[in-house]
Amino acid sequence: MKKKIVLSIAAAFVISAQAEDLGTIEIKEEVNTKVVNNISTQEVKNADLAEALAKKSASISLIRRSGIANDIVLRGQKRDNIKVTIDDGMVCGACPNRMDPPTSHVITTMVDSVEIKEGPFDVTEFGTLSGGVKIKTVQPQEGLHGEIGTTIGSYGYKKGIISVSGGNDKIKALFTYSKEESDQYEDGDGNTMAEQTALAQDPTKYNTGTDNRYLDAYKDMKAYEKRSIMAKAIANISDTQDLEISATQNRSDDILYPSSGMDALYDDSNLYNVKYTARELGSFSKKLEVKAYRTDVDHPMSIDYRIKNNFVPAAMKGLTNHLTTDVTGAKIINTFDALSREFTIGLDSSKRNWDGKYYSNMNPSIRKSINDTDTKNNAIFIKCKNQLDKLTLELGARYDSTKIDTNGAEQDNKYTDFSGNIMATYNSDENTKYFIGLGQASRVPDARELYFVASNGTSVGTEDLKATTNRELDFGTEHYYKDGKIKAKFFYSDLKDYIYYRDTGAATNKFENIDAKIYGLEFSGSYYINEQFTLDGGYTYKIGKKDKAIAGQTDTDLADITPAKLTLALNYDYNNHTNAMIEFINVSSWNKYDSDNGEQHISGYNIVNLKAQTTVAKNFEITVGIDNLFDKTYAVSNTYRDLTLLSDGTEVMLLNEPGRYIYTSLKYKF
């Protein structure tokens, strides 16, 4: 029964196959961490991990930008306020408008597990302000294993994957390749992405030089094409030593962003990781890890596909903002036992470069958008875990020294920050657990917030921003019943010098530091009805407020605070090879929003999704599903102006979600 309950809890958060239906998923929930395992390609609608995470965790919401490469919000936080790593390597997008967020640089085909850590309770990573997402890619296995799969779906979606893994107890290797493409999806009203743009852009309010609708030649083009390759090898040097090496390439072409004024000509990224692990080295090291990584992203975005491109002055035709970023980092972590406690001490160092410039068909260098900026961080951290009968205490501390240098005339910046936390868990009996945590963490401004320059030469960034600090209290309880489980969590976050985009005042220096609060609650539960049926549910609610309105404004609501969300799922397990699920999602109206900075009211919605899966002849897995069964028209993400989005002169464009989506997936495993 416990196994079924674990599986049913997983299903409650796999809200829709539109994002991911991932077969057998096991979710292990700890105090402030949720681990989602066995993410595979068997039944995946597309490669977008952000869509998957938004369905699996009540605390994560989706920011819809395109048919792929979407972003996430964790507990009302996004961008650099949450930390995303891939195989312990820092990955950063190159686009200042978040067309290529970190989660877009790994595809679900290659993801084995995701650890979602809520709150400022991870001292091992640089800048874990309000939470973190740690992505682990698939591992090679001994013997010979492989899979070949294909998925087709509505709106011309096609995907093919092939993966081969093999080896022995000394060395194992893995190779995975995935290719997919899709036409533009249609919303519940039958409008394609380009048609949504046309409806939001009233041509009577624009001249042809500012018309962001798609040209006739491009209004029916594909939404994206994407190819990904990953190779990985693990060598067992000895019984106590391992070496792991991996390389991943992502190549995406012609990605449409209908609610923005530009589209991505391509988005290419490379991820390289090396990890050495040694165990039982002596009394002062039961585990030593040495990690190194390098990631790079190349991202040009252009007006080529828009009407305005044909009518702007000749010198501006083909206007492109071409940005690149790369991160190089290393980490040494040593774990040992002393004084009847477990200690972990680590050194962390990283350097990120961000560079970008505007050019056109006639002018190869109009001006810089971000001028060759380096963010260099060095840190030391320590963790301690102490088990006292029924009470577990975990403590952590981190000291960061960060220097940000720009090649431009703007000022350079230095930051020193201290992070720390304590988490206490009390097991009153084998079925009941109580927990409370208090933490503080900081994150420095990024180069966009400090130095970004618009195409007309306006300095959007604010070069003297302070680092943001989050002081947070989390507490809750978890209880297992004979036929189920329930968990309740509450949090209160005090944000000092929160970096915020303001839409009033001068056109320059649009970012400023403010003080704000975010607090909320989360419930999850599962009820085991009988051997075949399980009912699951989840609920989340939060409030975000500025301590006072920004100068020249009156609204104290904080942006990105998504409304209350309820999920229910009824799961049916016919046998070990066949199962089905029907799920219901209710999201309340977005009534509390920052109207002074571009957000608007969004209606609530109710969505029903269906899915069934079976295994045939041992090696074939077939999945069929329908997302948004009743073809509803709805939007999930708001229009806070820290993103550059289209407007009709009155309201910023909302991008609707896909309408009814029917898919089928076939996989052969050996």
Q: How does pLDDT run across 448-472, given as a tens digit for each residue?
A: 999 999 999 999 999 999 999 999 9
Phi-psi domain of 158 (left: phi exceeds 0; alpha: psi -120 through 50; beta: other): beta
pLDDT digits (tens, 9 = 90+) for 470-504: 999 999 999 999 899 999 999 999 999 999 999 98
Exposure of 652 in the CB half-sphere (CA atoms within 13 A): 23
User: What's the predicted TM-score (pTM) here?
Assistant: 0.91
DSSP per position, 638-666 = ---TTS---B-SSSBPPPPPP--EEEEEE
- In degrees, rounded to 5, the angle at the alpha carbon of residue 427 between the alpha carbons of residues 424 and 431 is 140
**Rounded distance, CA 44 to CA 150, Å?**
9
pLDDT at 47: 78
Whether 202 has a pLDDT exceeding 80, the answer reads no
Neighbours of 248 (CB within 10 A): 25
DSSP β-bridge partners for residue 616: 620
pLDDT at 487: 93
Residue with tokens 């891939």: 86
Element containing residue 584 per DSSP (H, E):
strand 578-587
- Average pLDDT (519-538) is 93
Residue 621 has pLDDT above 80, yes or no: yes
For the chain, what is the radius of gyration of the CA atoms?
24
pLDDT tens digits along 148-194: 999 999 999 999 999 999 999 999 999 999 999 999 999 999 999 99
What is the structure's pLDDT at 345?
98
To the nearest 10°, report the CA torsion of 65, 66, 70, 71. 0
**Strand 60-63 relative to strand 33-37: parallel, antiparallel, unpaired?**
unpaired
The residue behind tokens 């493409």 is: 181
User: Mind listing the domains of the chain with CATH numbers?
Assistant: 2-669 (2.40.170.20)
Mean pLDDT of 11-29: 37
Place of tokens 């999850």: 524
Distance CA 207, CA 312 (A): 10
**Would the pLDDT of 110 be above 60?**
yes
Q: Which secondary-structure segment (H or E) carries 449?
A: helix 447-451
- Residue 142, classed as helix, strand or coil, is coil
Residue 30: pLDDT band by 50, 70, 90 thresholds? Answer: low
pLDDT-based confidence at 109, cuts 50/70/90? confident
- SS3 category, 558: coil
295-302 average pLDDT score: 98
Rounded to whole angstroms, how far apart are CA atoms 87 and 602? 36
What number of other Cβ atoms are within 10 A of residue 409's Cβ? 8
Range from 40-54, 66-80, 253-267, 476-490 carrying the lowest mean pLDDT: 40-54
> Are the C-beta atoms of 333 and 88 separated by less than 8 Å?
no
Instruction: Give 232's Cβ-side CA count (13 Å radius).
Output: 24
Model pLDDT, residue 40: 59
Q: Which residues contact 185 (CB under 8 A, 6 or more apart)?
A: 67, 154, 155, 192, 193, 223, 658, 659, 661
Query: What confidence category does residue 142 fall into, taking pLDDT thresholds of 50, 70 and 90?
Result: very high
CA distances from 126 to 89, 122, 133, 207 (A): 11, 9, 13, 46
Place of tokens 């390759």: 229
Please compute the mean of the pLDDT values over residues 77-95 and round it to a whole number.
Answer: 95
To the nearest whole percent, how much of the chain has pLDDT over 70? 93
